[in-house]
Amino acid sequence: MQQNNGLDKSQIISFAVLCLVLFGFMFYFQNKQQKEEQVKAGQTKTEQVKNAVKPTQATNINPNVTPNAIKVSNLSNKELNLEFSSLGGQISKVELLKYKAYDRKTDKADLSLNLITKNNSNYGFQFKDKTGKTINTKDLVFSPSVSGNTVTMTANYNEAVIQFIYTLKDEYTVDFKVRSQGLAKVTSDTKADFIWDYRVRNLEKGRAQEQSHSEFSYAFNNYKDYDYDGRTTMEEPDETLNWVGVKQQFFSSVIEAKNGFTKSTGNQEAFEEGEYLKKLDYAGQVQMTGNELNQDFNWYFLPLDLKLLKTYDKNFDDILPLGWSFIGWMNRGFFMPMYNLIASWGITAGWVIFLMTIIVKLILSPIMYKQHKLSAMMKVIRPEIDEANAKFKDADPMKKQQATMEIYRKAGVNQMAGCLPALVQIPIFYALFRFFPNFIDLRGQGFWFAKDLTAYDDLIKLPMKVPFLGDHLSIFAIACTIVILIYTVMTSGNMQQPQQEGMPNMKVLMYIFPITFLFFLNTSASGLSWYYFVSNAINILIIFVIKYIILDEKKIHAQIQANKEKPKSEGKFQKRMREMMEKAQDQQKAVEQKKKK
């Protein structure tokens, strides 16, 4: 490897690692959005798709049913307001009473929050009668009966009786029992298909963000394992699912089967615009005992509040996409408790994030100190590195590298130490990327010109949609980009232009890199932009303190000179690198000798 004149090796490694990861994040989410757009573009604009965006009214679902024949029953508690339709015996409306939905007309969260309404959810059990005709309970007309907190729906089909019994329990749970009598005379099937078609309603401000968080979620292996699918076809032919749900950004509709769903499949389709974000169609099988359909289920209509989800002990807390493994642990065990603790002091959400940023910076300050000390040490020994580069300019690149490493070794500089700050900040960045748009306590919390810290701020409207930016400019995203640029200028001031042909101009790359943050943050949660604005502003302050108050270049120079006088023992990494270089050098000499012969 050739040494880039005037460029610290540690800075190259740190920058490369951070760039690869952050660009990877940006590419992943932008590519995800592009794939969804390609799928939408490839879909034919048939009447069926148009009807999917604007669901048909109940009178068109079954032409034999008149509007007067459809009856609606109601149940409610402090959390839910439910309606049940006699057509199909289904839950036809679910309103969460403690939450509101975003209204684009008023730019406020002032609408009733309905997970289910206007036929966006349609479910039923499907089987065949003995003549081979397909029967679906969605097409049957049930007779409702209300008693206390229970609605019983009863339908008759060829002398068979099918009952759906709904009981509204505490909070967000609806007990759902299916009972049949005489069905064995009608069908020979031993299994029934559970068909659930669901259209996700747009409830939040950030459509693209909410759409990307809308997906299938399900548990299996006796609630021990969890999986999800947000883009592809769902295929689980071999697993018995304990429950299956449609997750949105902050809410989820879930159905649990006491005996499980088998042969599960699902399809997804994104909508470019309109009231709905996605169409998710699910099909799974449930057992019929003695050709009778007698199964127990539970419906859950949940806000994705971690504390609430854990109380069910059914792996619901995994629905909340806080990240896997260590990332998820950071959010659950560190960021959420820290936010809740600070918020309990009565501080508004924006200032809670401000204090969180300061706490994180204090924790990372020893690492930052080492980073800036290393940078100062590299600045002091740069003349020696430049001298070595000039001395071995026309020599074997391997000799130049060996000379450079020897300077590092004598000065007591560990080049790999520059990677540590970047490596530490990678999981923090990703954890916060998951935290801000998924933490329900931040939903609807405004700060300055951001009306909701889980969505973008759009005070600056654009006259048209700009690729990757949208139809607005986020002030928080702009402010964050400017601060990152200032920080980059301050930290890259010692970089020299590359003197060898073909070497990239790292200064230019480092200045371009912050600009990409504007495209990334412009449609992201404003809480994330605010956090990184504060974080980088603190970085700038820390640089001033460390550079002009704590670190003394004269003392560092004296320390390096003292290090040179001390006998140095090779570390394992340095020894391995030296041996590899010597081996490569010997091989090169052997090749040259063979050429001469």
- DSSP states of 517-578 as a string? HHHHHTTS-HHHHHHHHHHHHHHHHHHHHIIIII--HHHHHHHHHHHHHS--PPPHHHHHHH
101: which residues sit within 8 A by CB, 6+ positions away? 109, 111, 112, 113, 114, 201, 203, 204
Q: Using CA atoms, how far apart are residues 275 and 55, in angstroms rounded to an integer?
A: 10
450 and 464 housed in the same domain: yes
Q: Which helix (H) or strand (E) holds 6?
A: none
Q: Using CA atoms, how far apart are residues 515 and 458, in angstroms rounded to an integer?
A: 18
Is 4 domain-assigned?
Answer: no
> Quick one: pLDDT at residue 477?
85
87 and 166 housed in the same domain: yes
220 and 358 housed in the same domain: no
278 and 371 housed in the same domain: no
> How far is C-alpha 345 from the geometric centre of its chain's CA atoms?
29
Q: Which of 291, 321, 351 is the last residue of a domain?
A: 321
**Coil, strand or helix: which one is 483?**
helix
531 and 581 housed in the same domain: no
Is 340 domain-assigned?
Answer: yes
> Quick one: pLDDT at residue 516?
79
Helix 506-521 vs helix 526-545: crossing angle, to nearest 10: 150
> Quick one: pLDDT at residue 13?
47
pTM of the entire predicted model: 0.74
289 and 348 housed in the same domain: no
597 and 514 housed in the same domain: no
289 and 398 housed in the same domain: no
Q: Using CA atoms, how far apart are residues 469 and 209, in angstroms rounded to an integer?
A: 13
Question: Is the distance from CB of 546 to CB of 454 less than 8 angstroms?
Answer: no
CATH code (residue 192): 2.70.98.90
Is 241 domain-assigned?
Answer: yes
Q: Which helix (H) or strand (E) holds 466?
A: strand 460-466
Is 219 domain-assigned?
Answer: yes
Number of domains in the chain: 3
> Quick one: pLDDT at residue 418?
56
Instruction: Round the CA-based radius of gyration of the chain to a whole number and report it.
Output: 31
Is 482 domain-assigned?
Answer: yes
Amino acid making up residue 228 = Y
> Quick one: pLDDT at residue 485?
83
| Sign of the Cα pseudo-torsion (555, 558, 560, 563, in order) | negative
Is 580 domain-assigned?
Answer: yes
56: which residues sit within 8 A by CB, 6+ positions away? 119
Q: Which helix (H) or strand (E) holds 73?
A: strand 72-76
Is 33 domain-assigned?
Answer: no
469 and 400 housed in the same domain: yes
534 and 597 housed in the same domain: no
348 and 217 housed in the same domain: no
| Among candidate residues 242, 223, 221, the one with its CA nearest the CA of residue 286 | 242
Produce one character per residue of 31-46: b if its CB has 16 or more CB atoms within 10 Å, e if not: eebeebeeeeeeeeee
277 and 301 housed in the same domain: yes
CA angle 171, 177, 183 (to 5 degrees): 165
Range of the domain at 152: 52-321
DSSP 436-455: TTT-GGGTT--BTTBS-TTS
Is 584 domain-assigned?
Answer: yes
* Tens place of pLDDT per residue across the chain (597 aa): 333 333 344 434 444 444 454 445 444 444 444 444 444 444 433 333 333 333 333 333 355 555 666 788 899 999 999 999 999 999 999 999 999 998 888 888 889 999 999 889 999 999 888 888 888 999 999 999 999 999 999 999 888 899 999 999 989 999 999 999 988 888 888 899 999 999 999 998 888 888 888 999 999 999 999 988 877 788 888 999 999 999 999 999 999 999 999 999 999 988 888 889 999 999 999 998 888 899 999 999 999 999 999 999 999 999 988 887 788 888 888 999 999 999 999 889 999 999 999 998 888 877 777 776 666 666 666 666 666 666 666 556 666 666 666 666 655 556 555 566 667 778 888 888 888 888 898 898 888 888 888 888 888 888 878 777 778 788 888 888 888 888 777 766 544 444 444 444 555 666 677 777 788 888 888 888 898 889 888 888 877 777 666 655 556 556 555 655 555 555 555 556 556 656 665 666 666 666 655
> How far is C-alpha 447 from the geometric centre of its chain's CA atoms?
23
